[in-house]
Amino acid sequence: MKNKNAAVVSVISNSALVLFKIAAGIVTGSVSIISEAIHSAIDLAAAVMAFFSIKQAEVPPDEDHPYGHGKIENLSAVIEAALIIVAAALIAFEAVHKMRTGSKVSMPSLAIAVMGISVVVNFFVARYLYKVAKETDSPALEADAAHLTADIYSSIAVLASLVVIALSGLQIIDPIAALAISLLIFYEGVMISRKSIGSLLDSSLPEDEIAHIKKILEAESKHIKDYHELRTRKAGRQRHVDLHLTVCANETIKNAHATMDIIENSISSQLNNCKVVIHPEPCGNMTDKCPDECSWNNDNGGQRHGE
């Protein structure tokens, strides 16, 4: 519910800013403000997609999607990134056109006021979205917050250019600022697409999270001989971890299962929204005799923690 509310806030704020910027851009004739209006329109589209992707991602697993619907958030982020890149190209084209034909910004004080309001609104909304994205681990909200953060920087650049135009009358600064915005937006789109496509292609979890998993496994060295085939991936907010554990060949299923439960609970407590699947394997190559080096047999008498 919290992430849905955040998405709604983003949709409302972006809708208002798009209307303000379009009106200000038309009245003042500023290509940089029109560029910002396009940027905000992309943010609005991203916010709408984030809202619906979050709603769909929370649908429970079903027969056709046994692993859930989490990747819809990653797909949403990829589409958002593509829209951002297209917007960057449109803004760059218009900025170059204005450089060639010339442009004049009228009523710069109105333009400055609109961009100042945009910076303040986006600052507080972006902080809120980042906070909720971190709490809920939502890639869609994180992408939305990244859009707004880029919007803040580009709005500041436009605001500064408008102030310079008002003070000096150098009209060429307006299309130059728009071109700079297009480059910033393009970079933003590329970064979002790289991260989101990585998740769609089942890239591993970040190194620090894998280090947490390995630390937990190493802490259970008295009860497992080793672990191997550790695999990790992420679908939306849901992390998936699976691995093979080597346990004593003479251990009971009950005790081996208790060991796996402890490991699964430890990993889940360290990593939010994490599903762990463990495949146990007996030591000694499936022989009836437990190897002499089996630490469980020699040191623990086949007992689990506290038994």
**pLDDT beyond 60 at 88:** yes
Amino acid 304: pLDDT: 46
**pLDDT beyond 60 at 273:** yes
Nearest to 36 by CA among 99, 104, 118: 118
Residue 169's pLDDT band, with cuts at 50, 70 and 90, is: confident
Residue 73 to residue 51: CA distance in whole angstroms: 10
Residue 110 to residue 114: CA distance in whole angstroms: 6
Beta strand 238-247 with 226-235 is antiparallel
Amino acid 66: pLDDT: 66
C-alpha angle with apex 21: 184 to 154, nearest 5 degrees?
Answer: 20
Q: What is the pLDDT of residues 101-154, one digit of tens each?
A: 776 777 778 888 888 888 899 899 989 988 888 887 777 777 778 778 877 877
In degrees and rounded to multiples of 5, residue 229 shows phi and psi of 50, 45
Residue 306's pLDDT band, with cuts at 50, 70 and 90, is: very low
Q: What share of the chain is helix, strand, coil (3-state, %, to 5)?
A: 70, 10, 20
Amino acid 298: pLDDT: 46
Residue 157 to residue 183: CA distance in whole angstroms: 12
**C-alpha dihedral, 238 to 244 to 245 to 250, nearest 10°:** 130
Which residue shows structure tokens 């500064």?
160
Amino acid 290: pLDDT: 53
**pLDDT beyond 70 at 296:** no
- N residues, the chain: 307
Residue 178 to residue 21: CA distance in whole angstroms: 14
Domains defined along the chain, listed by start: 2-200 (1.20.1510.10), 207-300 (3.30.70.1350)
Joined together, the tokens standing for residue 168 give 């000096």
Amino acid 300: pLDDT: 47
Q: Does the CA dihedral 118-121-124-127 come out positive or negative? A: negative
Residue 226 to residue 247: CA distance in whole angstroms: 8
Least confident piece of the model among 156-165, 168-177, 193-202, 288-297: 288-297
**C-alpha dihedral, 177 to 181 to 184 to 189, nearest 10°:** -170
Q: What is the pLDDT of residues 100-116, one digit of tens each?
A: 877 677 777 888 888 88
Residue 264 to residue 266: CA distance in whole angstroms: 5
Counts for the chain of helices (H) and strands (E), in that order: 9, 3
Contact between 231 and 244 under an 8 Å Cβ cutoff? The reply is no
CA 102 to chain centre: 40
**pLDDT beyond 80 at 251:** no
Q: Does the CA dihedral 126-13-35-46 come out positive or negative? A: positive
Average pLDDT, the chain: 78
- What integer is the mean pLDDT of 235-240? 77
**pLDDT beyond 70 at 293:** no
**pLDDT beyond 80 at 238:** no
Amino acid 223: pLDDT: 67
Residue 255 to residue 274: CA distance in whole angstroms: 23
